[in-house]
Structure 1
């Protein structure tokens, strides 16, 4: 009876207050005044609302309306829910209510007063509980006698859903053993827990941000924390609109953010598809704008390149670290790199292992922090610990550099460039010897890898001393041997020049017969002089098999010298292939081969020099000035020129030739911006067959057709597909691979197909062409491009038909069918990664970077 009397007394006290505020927006709820369906609480600043809502899917299988209690933004026209209470058990009638009891407990009740969602009563005695919606969007239960912002009895910020607001925390509260993590909605309009969750993990004292998917499988991860950012999340460090907060102490361990402009709405969201997005509300257009996406490309997919594999972000592909090779070359040929790489030379902890320094990396998974070690102590301890595969030093906790090590195989590495971190990777004695001979190791996409000083054991130092002594004792014999070799080499070269007389026998890559190539043979002295001994300032490009240098012969003629890497396992075959094929080709839209050079292990091709470089430098990127150098007339001319070059290769040359690597970086431009097809290293020729099958799939992602990727079948229609991709890239100024659109997951082909079906093909056009384009020609080119990328090879036109289509102004073109591989971010054939070539391996896919000649 005493409890009932107290409850009635409290209710009597609150009744006048309810009456006074019933006609105005209120931000608090007290016992005895439930929040009924149709009523709301509004934060004092008017920014957030608490109430019942119906998701847009609205009707369940039994045709009953479902209702959830949630918090959403008040003053924007799009219903944007940031927190949901009863995610798993919605109300099925409009008679629900939220009740705060006299002990501070919360409950959602249905029309029969049955509780479907509850918040337990706080421990201890609460005299005057109040539920309040704060300006931050936090829903709190507090003691009405305590107006401070600390000591809440309960708060919604402790239980995030799919959204993190400014001031929310992702991580652990050690005192209450509470783990705060984000979980996606099942779909855009169903708030039930989805497949993806984002959490802050602390394994072996090393903080990481981890995205889990179905069955709790790791989808992506970033870390460890370096004092300013998680490794691999450089966009967060440099973003000007918010500040990231990381706290680690005895009471809590969390990450959060705050917006730098308090008048703007920001939210951090895990989408139903697993995208981690930072969004900003734009008032003029009434829409949410994506500022950044944390997992924005395939290299953010966890472990996509397996152990000791590196994912490249320019043209997403996998390569092995220096000193490693694919564990299963056959799988890599099938674009499955998840098996990773194996060491070429085994470790031997007792035989002077050492470390090699890499720069510009996202650090691997499963790191461990060894506290209170100086950098020198870190190196020494890692070297003594046989399981220690790598180390670095980071300011993890903001109190000075910490020793971070990896005690297992290295997984989930990617190239980041200047925003990446240093990593010292353990190598065996044999591999270190090879590196010392070369002094530096240079790779395609990141800084030189060097062997640091003072990182090997004392035993290693003793071995070095023994080697020096041995060298001194045998130096005379070595000098004599060197002089003898030099003499034999000079005699051999003289005889060779006297007998070859410009003709070099090569074996065709497609048969056993031999043919003479009527091209000029240059000696090494001529090439070295022309390129200033391959000076770095003359380097104009980097390709899949080597570097390209600008040079000038003694006659004054400018040339481009393509020098193959000595370490390339594929280089000799591709060198022979390119030299034998292109020497026989003469067409105004093909790059001209002037000669070659073979001396010792060096192999070089000498081309005409094209000062404007490659097409990709003009149509891609953000340099509007360069884009404007190619107005519509020039772009249309380039498309037609490339088409004519392919007709020559397919129909008019002595052999039917399939290029197999047609892409923007392999189209070079002369002084008048006329296109020339280059890089025939992957080309194949045959006389009678119209189609061949290969077990070794080569090419560049985004340009290869479905039948080639999945079955190894290639024909002239393979080049037609690549041409279609290239044409659409020229028209749009966007790359097919890596294309992103906020409204869908299609790549560039899918985007063009969607616009065509909607009757809006001109929306594909590069904006810089608006003042110069011809509407009929533009639509004609888009249609031809879509015809070329159709999924079935038989549906694609021949290149001769393409040229005819581009010439005709009145011909009626067929309607294109669905393109192949048009869903760029969910392409199932890719498996978990897309693989590329490294100069050290002989895997099947090449990834070529800019190669200006």
Structure 2
């Protein structure tokens, strides 16, 4: 007698064919494809919980058709592709179950383009799309799974997926990136698990290691800094004790459902972990790797160590020197380092000539060998007795880790990581200790002398204070005598070193601003409120008053007061003086009647917006560029603004732009080209990728901000608020897409479009896209940008696609301190006094 379930199944089949066959296109809102049925482009099947669809899609910038799985709420997010290497050329394609029980894709010529190729499939099968995103081919009689898409992934890792590695056979699950956004074919990057000794996750580029997770200790990957944060948990790994190890996503601490989460391997070789924001209808980035240059596998070569906070990032381990010093100095670190002096290893004497140097907070090297032990001293003794042992480390869950060959892919982390003990000559250890015995007393003595010198200096300064104040008062009166404004300076600024900058009294500014009345309020920023004022002689001023609730403090106040008072350029705002009485801190600028650029550009109700025709906008772009050129090249010291945005561009009565707000500016001296900071500051949407993600900034960081600013001026839209719903693109991504399609005018504010200036506008978009390229070396210097805009350079190189082409937000967690806001952020920076030209 037939099983009752089987009878029910055949009854369901009969009803399906009798009722739905004539109306196939409308009846396929089901999660199953039955034998002898089909779906035809553009039909789809939908998982039971309405999470995933199986159907046909066309990537951007191509007409090719592919069969794939994608989200119902985000159909452009493809998680699996069937015919990724054999695109379809038209829409006359069919998906059905063949006579041998396999799922097949048939093109318009009735040729089989793709098949599940399950050799053991029975005659009666069906295909089901599950809410997990898994497409399964199963036996109708037994419900046994014959084939599943989770076993043949493309570039997306979903919850409930398992990445396998068979220790016995060496077979493993491999993910592969798309070639590019328009071609889902197998790209240059693949990923999977290696478990030759201790399991590790890898990204390979053309079959060579590109990124490594570090050993799995049962809880975290030792080479992923974010995993040391207790709030971060991405994956887990299981050894089933049958020769198979597998990894799966366990999620991120969030209130959202785990099914709306994915890890993608993109065409640039990065893992990007995202979760779906139903509120923003967008994928929020939670984590990505590699994040920095040091995360790339073997950046510094054998026996080299990478530290992203150093410049240059690579250095040889202690006791080693570059194999090729010329290559090393040119920042080609491929060949790595070699020992200065050979080890005096003597097995019969327990290698008494060698010792171990402790390196804290390290990502341990590749090719670790494991030895189970519950004590760290066992690791040391075992390594010391083996002349081939170059280094060791200890983890409670793993035990001993030994390295007998070259130490490759070593990285210094920030306050997390493991102690790595490398083998060196005992004499080098002694030398290191002797140096410490010398250095420590010298440092202590120097500190004591510095303290005594400081006390003496304070005593002398106090006695000379009155004379200095009288002199400064006289100078201030001389400076403002031409304006017939008598400014009385008070003595309450004695704790603020304001040098020659004229001082206004609080009373003077209160009278000028009608006691800081709301009717005089011009705007509000991270520093505080800005008021319009009028001095007794009728001269109009702008007063920037530090709010008690401001996140900026005396350091930023002094940085701006001293730095900008020394800069003289027609495209930099002029600082007239300051006020520092008791708790009050204010800066006084020349008044800009046309306010700031963001008001004119983004406030559609403001009457001045209609005045900004193309001529004025181009003039503003040029003026900002000239101001940057002065800061980067023409002033005596190179100055990086770090917060270039429309609200910091003021417009005078003639619509000339003037760069303002130097509270976060940094000063470079000599031949310094870039610097690093432990804490990122600035405004979200204008920060360069290397600054936002790595804390590394240079003049090319300002060039990136200038590129974003140019696109905003052209579009009349704010980058952080702009979102193209149709393409899921940011302002940068939209500009890139339209320009690359030769339709750049569609990007520009329609109020300034004119066929007579089409070429000029297209050139501006081209130059802006060159400025917002991912890597600083690819961006032109500001003097080159101005030459490009003025046709001093006629032929322009093609830009690369911006890294932030797709819309993303500030959901960055883990150890990366990423601060994004509309205003400003407090930063622990070194503030420098300079004398400008």
Q: What's the TM-score bracket when you normalise by the shorter of the two chains? A: 0.5 to 0.7
> Partner of 2:207 in structure 1?
216
* TM-fit CA distance, 1:763: 6.2
SS at match of 1:296: coil
For the residues of structure 2 that align with 1:717 and 1:13, how far apart are their CA atoms?
78
> Partner of 2:815 in structure 1?
none
**Preserved CA contact (<8 Å) 1:748 1:822:** no
Are residue 54 (structure 1) and residue 58 (structure 2) matched? yes
Alignment of 1:391-406 (within 5 A): 391-394=392-395, 400-406=397-403
**Preserved CA contact (<8 Å) 2:59 2:181:** no
Gaps of 5+ in 2: 1-8, 460-471, 473-494, 499-525, 528-547, 570-582, 588-630, 645-661, 666-680, 721-767, 772-776, 804-827, 833-837
> Partner of 1:456 in structure 2?
none
**Preserved CA contact (<8 Å) 1:315 1:737:** no
Task: Find the partner of 1:72 among 70, 73, 82.
Answer: 70
- CA change 1:428–1:174 in 2 (3 A) is closer
> Partner of 2:453 in structure 1?
553
**Preserved CA contact (<8 Å) 2:28 2:43:** no
Gaps of 5+ in 1: 1-9, 60-65, 444-523, 534-549, 560-586, 588-608, 613-617, 646-670, 676-714, 766-782, 798-812, 827-848
Q: Deviations along 1:577-614, whole A, 9 cap, x unmatched? A: xxxxxxxxxx9xxxxxxxxxxxxxxxxxxxxx9999xx
Are residue 739 (structure 1) and residue 691 (structure 2) matched? yes
- CA change 1:640–1:370 in 2 (3 A) is same
> Partner of 2:176 in structure 1?
183
- CA change 1:175–1:427 in 2 (3 A) is closer
Are residue 282 (structure 1) and residue 264 (structure 2) matched? no
Task: Find the partner of 1:758 among 697, 700, 711.
Answer: 711
Q: Deviations along 1:385-434, whole A, 9 cap, x unmatched? A: 21211111235xxxx43321111121211111332111111111321222
- CA change 1:274–1:442 in 2 (3 A) is farther
Are residue 120 (structure 1) and residue 117 (structure 2) matched? yes
* TM-fit CA distance, 1:314: 2.6
**Preserved CA contact (<8 Å) 2:632 2:640:** no
> Partner of 1:135 in structure 2?
131
SS at match of 1:739: helix
**Preserved CA contact (<8 Å) 1:643 1:723:** no
**Preserved CA contact (<8 Å) 1:245 1:257:** yes
**Preserved CA contact (<8 Å) 2:376 2:394:** yes
For the residues of structure 2 that align with 1:36 and 1:796, how far apart are their CA atoms?
52
- CA change 1:286–1:762 in 2 (3 A) is closer
For the residues of structure 2 that align with 1:631 and 1:373, how far apart are their CA atoms?
50
> Partner of 1:84 in structure 2?
81
**Preserved CA contact (<8 Å) 2:642 2:682:** no
Q: Deviations along 1:499-535, whole A, 9 cap, x unmatched? A: xxxxxxxxxxxxxxxxxxxxxxxxx99x9567348xx
For the residues of structure 1 that align with 2:303 and 2:496, how far apart are their CA atoms?
38
- CA change 1:276–1:673 in 2 (3 A) is farther
- CA change 1:54–1:358 in 2 (3 A) is same
Are residue 413 (structure 1) and residue 410 (structure 2) matched? yes
Task: Find the partner of 2:447 among 531, 546, 565.
Answer: 531
Alignment of 1:414-493 (within 5 A): 414-438=411-435
- CA change 1:299–1:89 in 2 (3 A) is same
* TM-fit CA distance, 1:244: 1.6
> Partner of 1:357 in structure 2?
358
- CA change 1:236–1:108 in 2 (3 A) is farther
SS at match of 1:192: strand
* TM-fit CA distance, 1:821: 15
For the residues of structure 1 that align with 2:634 and 2:195, how far apart are their CA atoms?
49
**Preserved CA contact (<8 Å) 2:632 2:638:** no
For the residues of structure 1 that align with 2:128 and 2:391, how far apart are their CA atoms?
51
> Partner of 1:578 in structure 2?
none
**Preserved CA contact (<8 Å) 1:103 1:129:** no
Return the structure number with greater relative CO, CA threshold 8 A, min gap 6: 1
* TM-fit CA distance, 1:184: 0.8
- CA change 1:408–1:93 in 2 (3 A) is same
SS at match of 1:299: helix
SS at match of 2:250: strand
Are residue 98 (structure 1) and residue 91 (structure 2) matched? no
For the residues of structure 2 that align with 1:281 and 1:343, how far apart are their CA atoms?
50
- CA change 1:176–1:725 in 2 (3 A) is same
* TM-score, normalised relative to structure 1: 0.56
* TM-score, normalised relative to structure 2: 0.57
> Partner of 1:837 in structure 2?
none
- CA change 1:165–1:236 in 2 (3 A) is farther
* TM-fit CA distance, 1:271: 1.0
* TM-fit CA distance, 1:104: 3.5
> Partner of 1:667 in structure 2?
none
* TM-fit CA distance, 1:27: 0.6
Task: Find the partner of 1:161 among 154, 163, 169.
Answer: 154
> Partner of 1:498 in structure 2?
none
For the residues of structure 2 that align with 1:723 and 1:424, how far apart are their CA atoms?
42
* TM-fit CA distance, 1:635: 5.7
* TM-fit CA distance, 1:160: 1.2
SS at match of 1:259: coil
Q: Deviations along 1:510-566, whole A, 9 cap, x unmatched? A: xxxxxxxxxxxxxx99x9567348xxxxxxxxxxxxxxxx6233854369xxxxxxx
SS at match of 2:306: strand
- CA change 1:795–1:369 in 2 (3 A) is closer
Q: Deviations along 1:225-245, whole A, 9 cap, x unmatched? A: 222222221224537475421
* TM-fit CA distance, 1:791: 5.1
**Preserved CA contact (<8 Å) 1:725 1:736:** no
> Partner of 2:319 in structure 1?
323
* TM-fit CA distance, 1:43: 0.7
Alignment of 1:511-526 (within 5 A): none
Alignment of 1:551-590 (within 5 A): 551-553=451-453, 555-557=455-457
